[in-house]
Structure 1
Amino acid sequence: MKKQTEKPKNNLIWTIIRTLGFYLIGLFNTVLIQQEDKGTWKNYLGYGILLIAVLDTIGVIKRFRRKQP
């Protein structure tokens, strides 16, 4: 029975790591980008990844609200 209780916890940890990774990559490609890369595909990719991170965060918040009574 321990495996059934540990699986959601592992899933939660993976979700948090994935979301933080999206934020980290997005920030490196937007705010912390080099001067010569501004306005290139790397910059626009960073905006897209930040958008994915925000949507993922909203999804995580909705999931937590559904689980709590």
Structure 2
Amino acid sequence: MCGEKEVSNITDSELITYVVDLRAEATDSVVPNEQIDWIHIPLVDGERNQLKNLEKAISFVVEAFKDNKRVVLH
């Protein structure tokens, strides 16, 4: 996972297809690029029973890699 500044750098240099944003407080993508899909799967710090969202994020990333897509976690 990387911070907001690093996401912009990585998406430019690594030809990223998806930004999977795990921040609960996020309301929009940190990367203003229509070529990159923003996927929001919120994980709340200190909250219990987040296994479904964690599994959803992992499954999404695995499927993206199977399709030869590039993903960055934020």
Question: When the two structures are superposed, what TM-score results if normalisation uses the length of structure 1?
Answer: 0.42
Between 1 and 2, higher relative CO (CA 8 Å, sep ≥ 6) is seen in 2
TM-score w.r.t. the length of structure 2 is: 0.40
Give the structure with the larger helix fraction: 1
Answer 1 or 2: which has greater strand percent: 2
